[in-house]
Amino acid sequence: MSFLRILRIGTNCIPRRYLPVFLLGVAVAILLSQGFLAYILYGIPDSSGYAYGSLRVESGPNIDLRTQNEIEAWQQRPTKEGSATDLAFKPNCTITNADVLSALRRAKTSECKEEITNIHCKDLRRELYPTRLNSTCPLHGASAKLGCFKTVNLEALHSPHYIMNNSLKNQSPVIYSDRNSCINACLTIGSPFAMYTASLKRCFCSNASLDEWNKDVNCIECSDCDQVFKTGLPTDAPKNVANTRTQASTKRARIVFLLTVNGRSVRQVRRLITALRNTSKINHYFYVHVDERQDYLYRSLKELEDPSWLAVGSRRFSTIWGGASLLQMLLSCLGTLIRMTHWQWDYVINLSETDFPLKRVELLEQFLYLNLGQNFVRPHGPETARFIAKQALRKTFHQCENRMWKLGDRDLPTGIHFDGGSDWVSLHRDFVDWLITNRDSDPLLKGLESVYRQTLLPAESYFHTVLQNSYFCTKIIENNLRFVNWRRKQGCKCQYKHIVDWCGCSPNVFLEDDEEKLTSLQLKPIFFGRKFEPVISQSTLNFVEGQIGIKPKTSTHTESLSSFWQNEYHHLDRSPPVDQGRLSAWTSLARLAVEHLANQGSHCVLRAVRVLEAWLYFKEDNFEGLVINFEAHAEHIPEPVRSEAIFRRVDPFKRSDRFQNDRFADRLRGLEVSTEFDLKELLSRNFAGIIGPYSEPGVVQEWDAGPAGSVTFVWIDPAKVVAGSYEIHVTRNEQIQNHKPPLRKPLRPGNWQLKVFKDWVLMAETSFLVQPQTFHHNLPLKNESVSEIVNGGPDHGYTDTDLSTVERYLGFRKSDILDSIKEAESKSKWTSVKLEKWSDALTWPRWTLEGLCFVANPLHQTGGVFCPRLPLESCVYMPWSSERPDEKSNI
């Protein structure tokens, strides 16, 4: 019944004198319903998985507010960089797909938007992917009808489509138009049998043998019968089992270790190479691909090149998590290895900087020789349909702006079996040679590459699918020779939403608690483990080296075994761009070191020139300090002198005395404001905690187990402006939380306060420095207008919420706040020396200088020392110095 008909009936039944009241009530009801509908739709996630919705923040005591999850969901909303219709070019097709429109709204550059548009238009014209590919696996045959069978147990059958996080029963059924669509669907997921019910257009797949079914000749008269077809896949294909004999053999396989590395942990890469070389008597080969954004790592590893055994690739890719470039990078590296005819190898094994051997390489050589010709890949398991859904194989993706954009659904080519699992593989040379030689001519390889060029996580499926559908389908062993430390509950936090329109998982770092687990792998054909990170647990790496018989060298520098240095900055780097706030802090600390030297009673007049390097220093798995390597001038020496200093950050965390013997308050172990919180490892990757005007600060809280409760975090900027007030619920479990407020940028430089209230009574507090930015584009900031922008705070406040109630509750008078803002605005115009002095006055009290040394330089006229009278040691003798010999990373 239509709405107008209902209205007409209603008005006919109501006395005329009450009719205006009735119509007014109807109008109000319509407005309320429309408003409610708009509210609901506003909070529904768009096709990219982002939710648009309002955020309630607290404007004073007793104000209701959202949970931390809602705050972070709001913060991860897409920004409105542009409109899907605001394009600098004319698309050659009509765009209506929600995913594509969302990508175009969020993409920043015209080039990326044009790429997205062209890919989508090609897809609409059916020009992007092949519709069918043919398998050349000798085990595969043609599809055939087997007859009509009575279905005994539907629960034992597989659906060729899988709905994420739900069963097919609770969803709208997938319609299969004919038997061929059913056969192709079952072939795609690797099932030898397809069961099709024409009347219901229903499809199931099965791996069971014919003996388990009851054949019924008359399918029309049988209500619970299905037509059964062979998909062409073998019903009982033999699985190759690795030969694990341990008898001694003089024959060994030669290996290329393909290292695909990223980040700045050059010492760990060197340690990995050393461990692989020192556990074998054979000279194996190393081919290194360094992410194209990592200048420091590329430059450092390039110094190790030796044509006889180590090469660093000159063609480099941006290897973002899940990116299509990962596969293109691997294929490019494999092509280079085939062309390097002076390297005679049998296997190529890809490793990253977070992998490490769990056995001696000499055992791996023997194992591979006993299984010569086989390819080692780890499959996903029996549920291929679920794997295809989780990996988004039925989605089109495109990589640009170092991001993977989701561009809608797609159909996979029919005729082949798609497979996948881990992207860490061990491939025999015969397969690699065939793959590279026929890459541009073989229809299967050309077709699959066009598919995987637009695929998320392509390397986790490409090699598996090629092997399954080629001559090499009989040369597969389902083991990739490594143990991956999966903790799904911790590792699947959608932590890559900032670079990919999909939720992904990542393995966790091995800790000391995992040592028993690592020991148990010694009797299995497992040769590598991941992940290892020395900035989190170097002691676990030391344990593994002991397990495989790598003994520390006899040296006077044995303390370096428990130390680790990770480079944060090098003055020669152009990529990635250095954070200008961090550069400002490092340079201020260099001036602090020179100031300390000038106060040592020497007649030397010193001046800091520039920061050359910054290092993070760890000792026994703890962050011990920030090491700054800098140049300084002494007035009597024409050439600058290099020095190093180590600084330890002051901990400003304080507890209130208002909660004595309070079980909830006693749960709080500590607060730390920093950035780059790792949801997987539950720590901040910004170990030094340096925060600049454009940083995204968050507070890491550590709670013991105890009674549940709620606390309110109040963020206060240097001008006594309350930037945010948020209530956080703490459950009873022991936990580490991170609360990151959605504050507008730039943050006002100076000393910030973070106060923690329980029932609006102060429970704890801490403070942190937002570093004044003294650099712009890596040069000292001398432009007053630029300084006013970067150091002037946000134009329209940190949030739209009125927080004046909180300010009054804290005793902040409006007139005092306005005066403080005026003073801060005046300071934001400072440049050059005046700006540097302001930065130093804020920075120096937050750090303690723990040590100083000079970098010895025999070619320098002073040998590298500033002044003979200064009580400085050479850095090679300082256990914290980056110049200290590090035996475990020496190749």
pLDDT of residue 606: 80
Residue of 715, 874, 726 lying closest to 807 (CA atoms):
715
Taking only the tens place, the pLDDT of each residue in 359-414 is 999 999 999 999 999 999 999 887 888 899 889 999 999 999 999 999 999 999 99
The predicted model gives 472-481 an average pLDDT of: 96
Domain parsing of the chain, residue ranges: 3-42, 144-230, 255-547, 570-649+846-882, 654-838
Q: Which residues pair with 259 in a beta bridge?
A: 288, 351
Kindly report which listed range (25-29, 118-122, 153-157, 568-572) carries the lowest average pLDDT score. Answer: 25-29
pLDDT of residue 209: 64
Candidates 2.60.40.1930, 2.60.40.730, 2.40.30.10, 1.10.10.10; CATH matching 654-838: 2.60.40.1930
pLDDT of residue 227: 87
User: Environment class of residue 829 by beta-carbon count within 10 Å: exposed (0-12), middle (13-18) or buried (19+)?
Assistant: middle
pLDDT of residue 666: 96
Q: Is the pLDDT of residue 320 over 70?
A: yes
Q: What is 570-649+846-882's CATH number? A: 3.10.450
Nearest 10 degrees: Cα torsion 551, 557, 559, 562: -50
Quickly tell me which residue has 């972070």 as its tokens.
Answer: 72
Taking only the tens place, the pLDDT of each residue in 587-636 is 999 999 999 888 876 667 788 779 999 999 999 999 999 999 999 888 77
Q: Is the pLDDT of residue 3 over 90?
A: no
The predicted model gives 1-30 an average pLDDT of: 47
pLDDT of residue 861: 67
Angle at 340 between CA 338 and CA 343, to 5 degrees: 100
Give the architecture (CATH level 2) of 255-547. Alpha-Beta Complex (3.90)
Residue of 269, 299, 854, 314 lying closest to 572 (CA atoms):
299
The predicted model gives 191-208 an average pLDDT of: 87
Residue of 167, 186, 166, 191 lying closest to 176 (CA atoms):
186
Q: Is the pLDDT of residue 498 over 80?
A: yes
pLDDT of residue 155: 63
Which stretch, 80-84, 348-352, 546-550, has highest mean pLDDT? 348-352
Taking only the tens place, the pLDDT of each residue in 249-259 is 678 999 999 99
Q: Is the pLDDT of residue 17 over 70?
A: no
Q: Please indicate whether residue 456 or residue 198 has the higher confidence score (pLDDT).
A: 456
Please tell me the pTM assigned to this model: 0.88
Q: Which two tokens stand for residue 858?
A: 């025999």
The fraction of the chain above a pLDDT of 90, given in percent, is: 70
pLDDT of residue 156: 65
The predicted model gives 673-699 an average pLDDT of: 97
Residue of 54, 55, 61 lying closest to 712 (CA atoms):
61
Q: Is the pLDDT of residue 659 over 50?
A: yes
For residue 367, the 8-state DSSP code is H
pLDDT band at 154 (very low <50, low <70, confident <90, very high): low
Taking only the tens place, the pLDDT of each residue in 122-151 is 999 999 999 999 999 999 988 898 888 876
Q: Is the pLDDT of residue 116 over 90?
A: yes
pLDDT band at 8 (very low <50, low <70, confident <90, very high): very low
Helix/strand/coil for 344: coil
Separation of alpha carbons 753 and 723, rounded Å? 10
Which stretch, 384-398, 709-723, 858-872, has highest mean pLDDT? 709-723
> Amino acid letter at 287?
Y
Quickly tell me which residue has 């290996």 as its tokens.
Answer: 255
pLDDT band at 437 (very low <50, low <70, confident <90, very high): very high
The set of long-range contacts for 861-864, using a CB threshold of 8 Å and a minimum separation of 24, is: 861/637, 861/639, 862/637, 862/641, 864/641, 864/642
Q: Are strands 214-215 and 144-150 parallel, antiparallel or unpaired?
A: antiparallel
Instruction: Work out the number of other CB atoms within 10 angstroms of the CB of residue 36.
Output: 10
Taking only the tens place, the pLDDT of each residue in 200-223 is 888 888 887 666 666 766 676 676
Helix/strand/coil for 128: coil
Separation of alpha carbons 95 and 117, rounded Å? 8
pLDDT band at 521 (very low <50, low <70, confident <90, very high): very high
